[in-house]
Amino acid sequence: MTLIINIPPELESRLQKEAHRKGVALDEYARMLLEEQLAPKDDHASQKGDAWAVLKSMMGTVEGPADWSSELDHYLYGTPKRGEEPR
């Protein structure tokens, strides 16, 4: 199938730059983006099994700082990081 879409010049430029950076043709990169966006998503709430299985399936799906787990109070409540002087 061939699809013709009109996009603003700035978006076209960004698309071309990213395709070039990834070393793929513009149309191939656009197809990759569409496939990624339209791919079926895992619905963790509908998975069968125990809570640990659901949590394990979600591992790595959330991005955050490298010290997230050790500095949880800092990120949740704004307390100073461990070893950091209070301001």
Which string of DSSP letters, residue by residue, matches the chain? --------HHHHHHHHHHHHHHTS-HHHHHHHHHHHHHSPPP-GGG--S-HHHHHHHHTT-S---TTTTTTHHHHHH-PPPTTPPP-
Domain membership of residue 66 (yes or no) is: no
Domain membership of residue 85 (yes or no) is: no
pLDDT at residue 42 in the model: 65
| Model confidence at 18: pLDDT above 90 | yes
Q: What percent of the chain has pLDDT over 70?
A: 89
| Model confidence at 70: pLDDT above 60 | yes
Which position has the token pair 């966006």?
Answer: 37
Domain membership of residue 21 (yes or no) is: yes
Domain membership of residue 25 (yes or no) is: yes
Instruction: Please count the structural domains in the chain.
Output: 1
Domain membership of residue 29 (yes or no) is: yes
Domain membership of residue 56 (yes or no) is: no
Q: What is the pLDDT of residues 24-65, one digit of tens each?
A: 999 999 999 999 888 877 665 555 678 888 888 888 787 888
Domain of 17, in residue numbers: 7-41
Q: What is the pTM of this model?
A: 0.46
What's the full length of the chain, in residues?
Answer: 87
| Model confidence at 20: pLDDT above 80 | yes
Give the Cα separation of 79 and 81 in Å (integer): 6
Domain membership of residue 63 (yes or no) is: no
